[in-house]
Amino acid sequence: MTGQLIQSLVDALSAGATLGLAALSIGLVFGVIRLANFAQAEIITASAYCLIFTWELGWFIAVPLSIIVAVAMSLLMEFAVFSRMRSANPATLLIASFGLSFLLQRVYELMFSNNVRTAPVASGLAQTVEFAGVRIQLLSVATIVIAGLVLLGLHLFLTRTSMGLQLKAAAADFRTARLVGIPAGRVIALSFALSGILAAAVAFVLTVQSGAVGPTFGVQITILALVGAVIGGIDKISGSLAGGFLVGFVTSMLATWLPQEMSNFKDAYVFVLVIGVLLFRPSGLLIKGRGVART
Amino acid sequence: MSIVDDARSGSGQASRGLRVEGLEVAYGGVPAVRGIDLEVKAGEAVGLIGPNGAGKSSTLLGIMGAIERSGRVLVDGQDLAGLPPEKVVRRGVALVPEGRHVFAELSVTDNLRLGAVARRDRAGYSEAMEHVVTLFPMLRDFGHRQAGLLSGGQQQQLAIGRALMSDPDILLLDEPSLGLSPTAVDTVFEALDVIRAAGKAVLVVEQRAEFTIAFCDRTFVLHDGEITLSLKPEDAEKVDVLTKAYFG
């Protein structure tokens, strides 16, 4: 029983970490330009395809390449689509990102067909190890470590560098940041680039988990990540991260501990949680009051 | 030489001035500012007063390029046409916004660091920081404190300090006394006096008419987006002039 509890806790931490990163990748961009980018799913998918197609060249080529693809695609979306819609309201931006998402899914279908592509990406992590009598998936531990390292790097960047500080300020109050002299174009591009790096980390974990990538590969986690970001408070970087983690953690625990006949509906319970949060804390669990109005 | 030293010696470096010609601002076709002309020279403080909705804040935001405007905004004779706010700051204009808008979750020092992002002279960062904490010693004492935990008066000092970190020649302030205690207002305006004496051009929007008229070298009254009256410091105590300023 204790072994199963520890095992489920590690799995839930891993699921929470993955979803936390995905939600953070959305929250970073939202904080700056009020875009909840649904097409983040297709950045994850592109990065995952890259891992699948280049894995046989070696991880030291495949992993950096998948990060480059994610960052390039994120920046391309910004320059080709969203930079042309600066004065649009958040609802319009969200709908545009839906459109972009569906368009890219069709493009992936045309390029790679509807069938999934497979490769043994980091298959060594797919093993189970026994530690003090508890069986733990190596991938779960690796996911927690990867998420920890990515978050530490992001934290150091945001707190120790001038660019990071500018991004934090822009995410908190974009209009004032510009009035202080922070260049809008630079911080927006930076938020998309960092968001791309986070998407690549998520793509890596998911690709190792499944080993198979199709045109809609990134969609499900992006929906849950959006839900997590809203629950935590998409207005704040830390809110998105915490909300994403919470949704991932709860979903994983429900999958383990709910009776078989109920666990099929685990996502439904998560959405009940969302409804509750939206009713009683519409700005998110981590946002005090109603959040800061933006113009 | 620091702002404080400048003021004490009364030297006032040769700073640039601001000239606004025919400034117009509209929101969705509804005019808020209708062809304002004004000039603020180096070492001078100019006030803008008027009832709510007169167009005072819109004038400042129009000068900063934060909202669409027409007309000319000249700094040292150079037109700022089409420049976004971050580039206007690089031309030597800084705004202390209404409601202060400090970055509440960041430390006092980080807020000041952000103010220096737009410095034309990056090497002068340490000197600028020293000037600001000399002007507002509280900012040195509370350097590591979260800005959101400061009192209103302290936040106003921080907002002014942050603006000064960009080494502006022209300082715009939107209702710096809003919501502050009389003591805090005194602290803020004493600092503005030092800043003016150091040769900066100061344009201040205020609700406190009498106070502003007495402090500024010239004060303009704004009504419905137009300047309707120009006042001198000696007008501050003339009740009929103040009544006319607000009620026409």
Report residue B110's pLDDT band, with 50, 70 and 90 as the boundaries: very high
Q: Does B194 touch chain A (CB under 8 A)?
A: no
CB pairs under 8 A between A and B: 60
Domains of chain B (ranges, CATH numbers): 3-102+170-242 (3.40.50.300)
What are the domain boundaries of chain A?
A: 2-217
Residues of B in contact with A165 (CB under 8 A): 106, 110, 113-114
B247 to chain A nearest CA, in Å? Answer: 32
Q: Is the pLDDT of residue A97 over 90?
A: yes
Chain B residues 207-246 with CB within 8 Å of chain A: none
Residue B9, pLDDT above cutoff 70: no
**What stretch of H or E contains A106?**
helix A90-112
Q: What is the CA radius of gyration of chain A?
A: 19
Chain A interface disruption, residue of B64, B117, B166, B173, most A CBs within 10 A: B117
Touching A: B residues 162-181, CB under 8 Å: 162-163, 166
Question: Residue B155 above 90 pLDDT?
Answer: yes
Query: Hey, of A160, A173, A174, A180, which one would you mutate to test binding to chain B, going by the most B CBs within 10 A of its CB?
Result: A180
What are the φ/ψ torsions at residue B245 (nearest 5 degrees)? -60, -40
- B184: Cβ–Cβ under 8 A, 6 or more apart, which residues? B151, B152, B153, B156
Q: Please, what is the Cα angle at A119 between A141 and A142, to 5 degrees?
A: 10
pLDDT in tens, A57-67: 999 999 999 99
**Residue A129 pLDDT > 90, yes or no?**
no
Instruction: Check B97 against A179: CB less than 8 A apart.
Output: yes
Question: Which is it for strands B69-75 and B93-96: parallel, antiparallel or unpaired?
Answer: unpaired
Quote the pLDDT of residue A267.
80
Q: Which of B64, B110, B113 sits opposite A179 (nearest CB)?
A: B64
Sheet containing strand B18-27, edge to edge, reads: B30-40, B18-27, B69-75, B78-79
Report the residue from A168, A169, A181 with minimal CB separation from B86.
A181
Residue A180 has its nearest CB partner, among B84, B105, B115, at: B115
Longest pairwise C-alpha distance within chain B:
51
B113: Cβ–Cβ under 8 A, 6 or more apart, which residues?
Answer: A162, A165, B165
| Dist. CA B30–CA A141, nearest whole Å | 60
- Name the least confident of A125-129, A155-159, A259-263, B123-127: A259-263
Its pTM stands at 0.85
pLDDT over threshold 90, residue A132 = no
> B89 CA to chain A: closest CA distance, Å?
5
Interchain CB distance below 8 Å, A179 and B85: yes
Calpha distance B155→A115 (Å, rounded) = 59
Whether B109 has its CB under 8 Å from any CB of chain A: the answer is no
Q: Is A240 exposed, middle or buried (0-12, 13-18, 19+ CB in 10 A)?
A: buried
For residue B25, what pLDDT band results from cuts at 50, 70 and 90?
A: very high
Lowest mean pLDDT among A260-264, B7-11, B110-114, B198-202: B7-11
User: Quick one: pLDDT at residue B8?
Assistant: 41
Q: Which of A165, A167, A176 is the best residue to mutate to test the B interface, defined by the most B CB atoms within 10 Å of its own CB?
A: A176
Give residue A284's pLDDT: 80
Nearest CA to A240 out of A226, A253, A251 is that of A226
Residue of B nearest to A178 (CA): B86
> In chain A, which among 157-196 make CB contacts under 8 A with chain B?
162, 165-166, 168-169, 172-173, 175-184
Q: How many angstroms away from the CA of A176 is the closest CA of chain B?
A: 7
Q: Contacts of residue A178 in chain B, CB cutoff 8 Å?
A: 66, 84-86
Distance from CA of B6 to the nearest CA of A (A): 24
Task: Provide the pLDDT for residue A233.
Answer: 87
Q: Which residues, at least 6 apart from B88, have a Cβ–Cβ distance to it below 8 Å?
A: B63, B64, B65, B80
Tens digits of residue pLDDT in B183-197:
999 999 999 999 999
Q: Is B98 on the interface with A (CB under 8 A)?
A: no
Helix runs in A211-236, H state only: 219-232
What percentage of chain A carries pLDDT values higher than 70?
A: 97
- Which residue does chain A place closest to B92, by CA atoms? A181
CB within 8 Å: A183 and B105: no
pLDDT, mean over chain A: 90
Residue B46: is its pLDDT beyond 70? yes
